[in-house]
Structure 1
Amino acid sequence: MSDNDFAIRMTGVTKIFGDDPQAALALLRAGKSKADVQAETNHVVGLDNVSLDIARGQIFVVMGLSGSGKSTLIRHVNRLIEPTAGEILVEGTDVLKMGLPDLRTYRRNNVAMVFQKFGLLPHRSVIDNVAYGLEVKGVGKVERLERAAKWIETVGLSGYEASQPRQLSGGQQQRVGLARALALDTDIILMDEAFSALDPLIRSGMQDQLMELQKSLGKTILFITHDFDEALKIADRIAVLRDGAVQQEGRPEDIVLKPANEHIEDFVREVNKARAIHVRTIMERGAFDECQYSVPADARCEDVLPYFAEHQWVGVTDEDGNQIGRVTARRVIKALARYTPGANEG
């Protein structure tokens, strides 16, 4: 695939914080670990040779523990942070070669960002917060307020247009931040721990809303989180970072079923596998008798579990509703219990 087939393509991106990053980079490339580089140079490796291809229309989740480099990575996409080495292409354009005027235009028109701390302007009303990015872009007052009102309604905050941020709950404030990003109508949205400050129930609701919006909007979303369950719920693909380096990248079920190392095994040990594994991964393809119940191929195991109280198998359908196979209770049980090379047989 060419560079233009991806919304975001990062190749060999490395970031070292310190006064002489090139000297530290030489040590890193010579095989020194992040800890060794820091001990010898007092420089911190934020990212270590990160390469990621993010396709258009994906929710791509980057996850890892605190200090793994997640937030450093996402800030490279809109060049809030300059890399020490590497290449970053967005929609086929080299972001690192942009001069200040082009970079300013790029940030206004190509990428929008949703922050963990909401980032709302406390002296502005909800509608003026949502319209702020449009104001910066030079959109006229009438048009920007109309567009802002539309997105306020979309995220479920109709009636709060004149409210101040301090009058809103945390979940409502995050909805304002999401509406502000959507109002810019960029193809790419960057979300840095966007839901992590919210209570669990509100957080789950925001995840559901994001997934529902994505069905109609088809944005490219780069989403940062430390919560593996959140990653499994919303991601089309996941990359796991540790010490600034990518440990594994793939579909959620690939990471759960085939962890690349002990670090990722620790992540997935207690995870809800029923939420991670899609039916398409374990289904039997072929012509079978029609079943009373069926699910789409993108359904997850947790979606079919209730049917097995009365049925041994459930039909699986394609996008047009045609049955293309089935998934049996036995296959689901095997997948959830323990992955082995033969788990998809029988």
Structure 2
Amino acid sequence: MTPPAVPPPAASPASRTASSLPAAATVAAPPAAPGPGPSARPPGSTTATASANGAVSLPASGRDARDGGGSHPSAPVLLAVQNLWKIYARHDRRIDVHDPEAVERAEARGAVVAVRDVSFRVRRGEIFVVMGLSGSGKSTLVRCLLRLVEPTAGRILVDGDDVTAMDDRQLTAFRRTKVAMVFQHYGLLPHCTVLENVAFGLRLRGEPRPVQLQRAREALARVGLEKWAGRYPAALSGGMRQRVGIARALARDADLLLMDEPFSGLDPLIRRELQDELLRLQAELHKTIVFITHDLQEALRLGDRLAIMQAGRIVQVGRPREIIQHPADDYVRRFVQDVREAAALAAGPLRAAAPEPVPAKGGTGLVP
């Protein structure tokens, strides 16, 4: 099956800013009604303005301000995921995913479908954010991409290479050269210095020692930790440890960077600083990133495109403002409700009297 096409992004990543909502996203506000005042605005909401016709204009997001994301429309597809499934079944029973009744019978016997027929593509230089509630399958999905979790069915292509068909030797080489991962809980080696932690992936790859240290120092300088190279992880704060994890991934200069909720365990201010840091690094390095999060504000701030997951499925893919303006279903609508309500509150007496437009039925919402 041919994977869905990617919508054309527009300009270079260097023009990104750091606001948290989509560019010029005009959201039709609901009719005026008694309700909470401005003090009830959801925390973290960004100020919206109302135009003369009553529509609400949201300020530009760093990721969506160019009306299309971080990669150029002619950029090649680096990652293609085709009809990916992951089913956890007792005794590792083989299940025909092409037979809906077989899948239903397996679920009735206790099988868990963590990833269900997922397809998407990511172009070079793009930050592709996968978000959903806990248990939606997003972390399982990202682990399937480098086969830390073995998929049940489907294909994963990275730069044309079929990851799902690789043997152990090829998979090890792929993990060491083509992809790098940043985990939520850092994954640092406590008995190694910061410099040694950053150089660890290069050491596994067999790079000469001088090359390891040079690249590790360069990566630490990019994240502002060059003065901490000789310290141990225990001496660092949580935010600094996560910077070390990012530096370790950058030092390997991998084509694909996977980030599994890397900032979710941090305090809000530290989290925002690291988001700024990631945007700054992306403007310089133009990496291809798959970023996992459960936080809508983070997704809107960082993502060129967003994929919303529910119960193992991707229910909508689109640019941030497309998802806010045209949620595919009630599940997505609930995700973006706070953003829309903040815009309506900011509109005040200029709220539009017309009802909110409803997206046309019939599409799956999978392809923007």
TM-score by length of 1: 0.76
Aligned to 1:117: 185
Indicate conservation of the 8 Å contact 2:127/2:289, yes or no.
Answer: yes
Aligned to 1:75: 143
Do residues 249 (structure 1) and 320 (structure 2) align? no
Identity across the alignment (%): 46
Do residues 153 (structure 1) and 221 (structure 2) align? yes
What is the CA distance between 1:25 and its match in structure 2? 3.7
TM-score by length of 2: 0.71
Indicate conservation of the 8 Å contact 2:97/2:103, yes or no.
Answer: no
What is the CA distance between 1:272 and its match in structure 2? 6.8
The alpha-carbon distance between structure 1 residues 205 and 270, as it changes in their structure 2 partners (threshold 3 A), is: same
Do residues 8 (structure 1) and 79 (structure 2) align? yes
Correspondent of 1:197 among 265, 284, 301: 265
Correspondent of 1:22 among 94, 101, 107: 94
Query: Which secondary structure state, in structure 2, belongs to the residue aligned with residue 132 of structure 1?
Result: helix
**What does 1:164-243 correspond to in 2, within 5 Å?**
164-243=232-311
Indicate conservation of the 8 Å contact 1:122/1:164, yes or no.
Answer: yes
Distance in 2 (alpha carbons) for counterparts of 1:201 and 1:163: 24
Q: Structure 1: which 5+ runs fail to align?
A: 276-304, 306-328, 342-346
**What does 1:18-97 correspond to in 2, within 5 Å?**
18=89, 19-23=91-95, 25=97, 29-30=100-101, 37-38=106-107, 40-97=108-165
The alpha-carbon distance between structure 1 residues 334 and 12, as it changes in their structure 2 partners (threshold 3 A), is: farther
Q: Which amino acid aligns with 1:254?
A: E
Q: Which amino acid aligns with 2:204?
A: V
Ranges of 4+ aligned residues in structure 1 off by more than 6 Å: 1-4, 272-275
Structure with higher RCO (Cα < 8 A, 6+ apart):
2
What is the CA distance between 1:6 and its match in structure 2? 1.1
Structure 1, residues 280-320: CA drift from partner, whole Å, max 9, x if none? xxxxxxxxxxxxxxxxxxxxxxxxx9xxxxxxxxxxxxxxx
Distance in 2 (alpha carbons) for counterparts of 1:71 and 1:179: 21
Distance in 2 (alpha carbons) for counterparts of 1:265 and 1:132: 43
Indicate conservation of the 8 Å contact 1:64/1:70, yes or no.
Answer: yes
RMSD of Structure 2 on Structure 1 (CA): 2.7
Indicate conservation of the 8 Å contact 2:95/2:103, yes or no.
Answer: no
Q: Which amino acid aligns with 1:240?
A: I
Q: Name whichever structure is richer in helix by fraction.
A: 1
Correspondent of 2:337 among 245, 269, 284: 269
Distance in 1 (alpha carbons) for counterparts of 2:283 and 2:259: 17
Q: Structure 2: which 5+ runs fail to align?
A: 6-74, 359-368
Question: How many residue pairs align between the two structures?
Answer: 283
Indicate conservation of the 8 Å contact 2:82/2:120, yes or no.
Answer: yes
Q: Which amino acid aligns with 1:258?
A: H
Structure 1, residues 117-139: CA drift from partner, whole Å, max 9, x if none? 00000000000000000111111
Q: Which amino acid aligns with 2:144?
A: H
